[in-house]
Amino acid sequence: MHTEIGAVIPKSLDELSHDEIRRKTLISKIMTRTLNYLTNELVEQDFEWLLPVVFSKMTDPLWPDPGASIEKRIEVEIYGETVRTTASMIIHKMFASSLAFPKLFILSPNVRIEKRERQGTGRHAYEFTQLDFELRNGSSKQVFRLVEGLICGLVKNLRRTSKEELSELGTFPELRVPKSPFKVHDAEKLKEKNGSDWETKLAAVIDEPVWVTNIPREFYDFQDFEKDSWDNYDLFVPKYGEILSGAKREFEYEKISKKIERDGVKRESYALLLKLAMEGRLKPSAGGGIGVERLVRWLVGAKHIAEVSPFPKVPGLVHEL
Ligand code: ASN
């Protein structure tokens, strides 16, 4: 089966040919070394490594987000209470960084039942993993430097440790250590210049990773009402587009409350967050989440994101495993 981007929809492990298994194992080597490198770096830099959650009453509303396309939210009842599967651990990160862990990261599974039309985009899976991190009292600048260090260090490390694998996968020659600091673009300006399709166009013209800031989206990202701008960011890589999103966070009760109201998000769902903010216990922070499969897709040059997963979760397709 082929998709609009010419990628073959990845098959289940048991359906792969000998050559396809070979490719899968090469990609897996890069995934292993990527996870090893990034987690080691963060631990070295004094980040606490937290374990993820699956069910909670509070999770990311993923709304309003121009990029969101959720067909269904998974809600189940346990012990007489309704809980949702994790869409992202953003709310948990805000609690954890405020109350206990000033520098933290989590490798967390995110469940987002994307619309079937996204089956062939090559960039969407209905289950994926974020390397999510948060810094109490952090700023965008700090996050930029942290991530630039991680990405440049990772590429350098892989070029040294994985020359054979990357050469066989075909990305070794073009996968260069990027120059930092990365360039910064304003999303509103990109939209003005390139129209609503700015993300695809940007990915097609860049040859190094770039930051995009000022993206209107969920209530927890910091918004400067006076300047009418957002202190948030996405990281784009050449050809493949966005691989990380993050922000400086809102922490003041009045602003969070107003934005929840404005966005039509259910207030009851975020009652505990509002309470924490009201009591002044929610602290300013900044952070982000790297889409692990998207990062590795770029490193190995995979047409479809599901190629980098052992058990692909392609929108619209449900395999046995
Ligand atoms: N992980 C993202 C962040 O830290 C949130 C998201 O994935 N929606 O901002």
Q: Give the ligand 1 atom nearest the CA of 65.
A: 8
Q: Is 17's pLDDT higher than 60?
A: yes
pLDDT band, very low/low/confident/very high, at 111 (cuts 50, 70, 90): very high
Q: Please give the single-letter amino acid code of residue 295.
A: L
Mean pLDDT of 218-237: 98
Q: Is 2's pLDDT higher than 70?
A: no
Q: Give the ligand 1 atom nearest the CA of 218.
A: 8
pLDDT band, very low/low/confident/very high, at 65 (cuts 50, 70, 90): confident
Check if 97 has its Cβ closer than 6 Å to any atom of ligand 1.
no
The pLDDT of residue 187 is 98
Residues 6+ apart with CB under 8 A from 316: 116, 118, 119
Distances in Å between the Cα of 81 and the Cα atoms of 3, 57, 268, 295, 315 are 40, 8, 14, 36, 28
- CB crowding 283-313: b at 16 or more within 10 Å, else e: bbbbbbbbbbbbbbbbbbbbebbbbbbeebb
Mean pLDDT of 31-38: 99
Report pLDDT digits (tens) over 116-127. Answer: 999 999 999 999
Report pLDDT digits (tens) over 271-285. Answer: 999 999 999 999 999
Q: Is 8's pLDDT higher than 80?
A: no
Give 287 Cα–ligand 1 centroid separation in angstroms.
8
For 262, counting Cβ atoms within 10 Å of its Cβ (0-12 exposed, 13-18 middle, 19+ buried), the class is exposed
pLDDT band, very low/low/confident/very high, at 66 (cuts 50, 70, 90): confident
Evaluate whether 210 touches 240 at the Cβ level (below 8 Å).
no
DSSP tally for the chain: helices H, then strands E: 9, 14
pLDDT band, very low/low/confident/very high, at 10 (cuts 50, 70, 90): confident
Q: At what angle are helices 271-278 and 253-263 packed, to 10 degrees?
A: 150
| DSSP structure class, residue 15 | G
Give 19 Cα–ligand 1 centroid separation in angstroms.
36
